[in-house]
Amino acid sequence: MLRRFNHVAFRCNDARETVDFYTKALGLTFAHAVSNDVVPSVQQYCPHIHIFFELGDGSYIAFFEVPTVPEAIPDTNTPSWVQHVSFDVADDSALHEGKRLLENYGVEVLGPVDHEFAHSIYFFDPNGHRLELTHWLENESSDRARYRAEAGPLLEQWEERKAKGLISSQSAAG
């Protein structure tokens, strides 16, 4: 039933700054914008602009600038590396080119990091959202089938470790 993302949406501090970053530093197409004073889905007064950037598969990453509400605050209970968006790139050459473009734009980039199944770089957009460029190293047929077969048992092992108290907030602080 679900085919792909249509879009994922986040808050931005400034629409123009966000457009500049996603078009100039990442090379995405600024594809659509909508501005309303009333949010159509909830019929609430909240002037906003909703901006969309198109990815190569026709999906979008989108942002809302909502200047009449208090500034966004970080989630203090979640490590900054957890919530992020990862964009797929074709190969390591594209990964390195992405890093070069980002650094030329003045962005601090971590990596490439070798995850064994993928190579990635990490950075933040001007809104504080953590982003990743990823080159998957998998063999389309054998690796994907193996990853799918391993996913369920790995989740079961994780649940067992939690049930036995081997993973807890106390052990993380320890």
Above 50 in pLDDT, residue 27?
yes
User: pLDDT digit string (tens) for 92-103?
Assistant: 999 999 999 999
- Please tell me the number of Cα atoms within 13 Å of 160 on its side-chain side: 6
- At 167, is the pLDDT very low, low, confident or very high (cuts 50, 70, 90)? confident
Cα Rg, the chain, nearest whole Å? 19
What amino acid occupies position 106? Answer: G
Give dist(CA 49, CA 114) in Å, integer: 38
Quick one: what percent of the chain has pLDDT higher than 90?
83
Give dist(CA 77, CA 18) in Å, integer: 26
Give dist(CA 51, CA 63) in Å, integer: 5
Tell me what the mean pLDDT of segment 147-164 comes to.
Answer: 94
